[in-house]
A and B are shown apart, each in its own frame.
Chain A
């Protein structure tokens, strides 16, 4: 009898400890999520009243209540255009090569080790690389082109890794079937591998671009100006050939730098602008990341091998 009671007590104590740990675990898990909630609430409280049309239509200004984010929004969009145009083909190409073409060799290993390591390099180091290479050695200057390429290098590992993961999920039977009917390797990639992995690749691309759009440090390092009260030349022109590339060399600012600039001023009115810009930035990145996660879940549900 005595023994049974002792055992019961032991079990009870074990259960109690489990319950206590579960509560602590729940709290720890919620810290991040609660922080995001508090942060959003704070930004809304400080900045929501600044969010009106003129905030999106105005240039930065010395008077806080007249300042807006037009040049920052345009700058961010143009920089993202360059980043996407370079990082997407390079990232997907490298992912395809590593999964479908590369044979085990020391070169392949070298590439793989480099991709893994680059993902861990602090973003500001990409800024230093770009400052020396793009801004001075290649003489692109402190331009939209330099910034776009810098961010492209930074998100390259993200796109490569997600491309590889998406491709790896395709069963070998698909490849065997394609080769069986006489497809070449490129035909297999073009007609089967790419379409089936498109969802996963798209997810990676969106996550990468969301990271790039919020990134500040490398862009500051290449020397982006913080006060820009004009727009770069429009990429689309009225006369032939309808596209011009002058904007590539234009000075610029981007959303996070604009926010940083307002944030480093002591006046409360500018910090309200910073809150409003931060709110726009957070919503943009949350929407992009949310879309990426939603896409991934959808594609996972739809494709059953």
Chain B
């Protein structure tokens, strides 16, 4: 080894060159590291791009429409001659469909997660978890079909007055869509609770249900909250189900049985039409997009605070 690297054994030329110090080797390593680093910075660039573009295009929008009108006017009629630029109808639509979705998905998802984590056998868990992933992979436009042509007609059975386009059906379908996310993440959180805590609880004579609800769930609260926040983000951002089945009419109402439009559905509706670059309609979709991002961000920050508050360290 020493002989080779110092080059004293002139006979072993092969070995010599193999062990010789190669200055290019370090340069190559540096280049590769630099490439990998710049590739990773794409993630930062995308965030900067999203924030920058939303702010830039919205700024032009708010030069022509006052923020006060945007936030207080109860009509959004950008497609009509008598134009009103109030984001409240779209905001209401988003909140109504998301609330319906969460009222359905949070209890069902949580109970399913408790069952999977604390009651189901290993085999059941191993089969159900991948199935949940499959469910999460179904394209949203297919769920739109489900909402429009299957769920709404089924609801009309119980509620004959329900219009063909409404926010209740899409809301429920969004709920079904986010159940797999909530179940899967909440189950992971409960699995992570150390076994000793369950054993301690059983040793005190608690039943399975008591252990689940009074020991495991409180200990996993931080992770369960994270699951809910993910569900809320998904519900806010869901587009196709609402665009297909809720009627695409901005409607300032809190009643889920009426038709309505969400922020996302409005963006789709405008984008489907002919959209001149730089027009007020064009800028408006960035302004409402900004509202959507801020809403999502608000709940994510809230979730972060809640997670810190409930965090348990073992």
Contact = CB atoms under 8 A, between A and B. Distances in A.
Interface in B93-149: 107-109, 111-112, 114-116, 119-120, 128, 130-135, 137-146, 148-149
A15 B207 contact: yes
A75 to B, nearest CB: 15
Contacts of B285: 128, 221
B149 A281 contact: no
A156 B47 CA distance: 12
Nearest to B33: A101
Contacts of B271: 127, 131, 220-223
A123 B293 CA distance: 11
B233 interface: yes
A35 B131 CA distance: 12
Interface residues of B, number: 84
Nearest to B108: A28
B40 A93 contact: yes
Interface string A65-86: 0000000000000000000000
B266 to A, nearest CB: 10
Interface in A272-292: 274-275, 278, 281-282, 285-286, 288-290
Given A33-B135, A216-B141, A186 B268 contact: no
A147 interface: no
A263 B40 contact: no
A214 B240 CA distance: 11
A93 B209 CA distance: 46
Contacts of B120: 25, 29
Nearest to A132: B53
Contact of A129 (B43, B46, B132): B46
Contacts of A129: 46, 49-50, 53
B249 interface: no
Q: Interface on chain B toward A: helix, strand, loop, or mixed SS?
A: helix
Nearest to B235: A122
A4 interface: no
Contacts of B267: 124, 127-128, 217, 221
A256 B41 contact: no
B294 to A, nearest CB: 11
A247 interface: no
A215 interface: yes
Contacts of B208: 18
B239 interface: yes
Given A17-B207, A21-B209, A207-B137, A97 B36 contact: yes
A114 B28 CA distance: 28
Interface in B24-65: 25, 28-29, 32-33, 35-37, 39-44, 46-47, 49-50, 53-54, 56-57
Given A31-B108, A111-B41, A122-B264, 10 more contacts: A32-B112, A32-B135, A94-B40, A111-B40, A128-B50, A132-B57, A185-B33, A214-B137, A259-B142, A271-B149
Interface of A: 14-15, 17-18, 21-22, 24-26, 28-29, 31-33, 35-36, 38-39, 42-43, 46, 89-90, 93-94, 96-98, 101-102, 110-111, 114-115, 117-118, 120-129, 131-133, 136, 153, 156-157, 160, 184-186, 207, 210-211, 213-217, 220-223, 226, 256, 259-260, 263-264, 271, 274-275, 278, 281-282, 285-286, 288-290, 293, 297
19 contacts: A15-B207, A25-B114, A28-B108, A28-B109, A32-B183, A94-B43, A97-B33, A101-B37, A110-B44, A122-B237, A124-B237, A157-B43, A186-B29, A216-B140, A217-B140, A259-B141, A259-B142, A260-B141, A285-B137
Interface of B: 25, 28-29, 32-33, 35-37, 39-44, 46-47, 49-50, 53-54, 56-57, 107-109, 111-112, 114-116, 119-120, 128, 130-135, 137-146, 148-150, 176, 179-180, 183, 207-210, 212, 230, 233, 236-240, 243-244, 264, 267-268, 271-272, 275, 277, 285-286, 289, 292-293, 296, 300
Shortest beta-carbon contacts, A-B, top 3: A122-B237, A25-B115, A214-B139
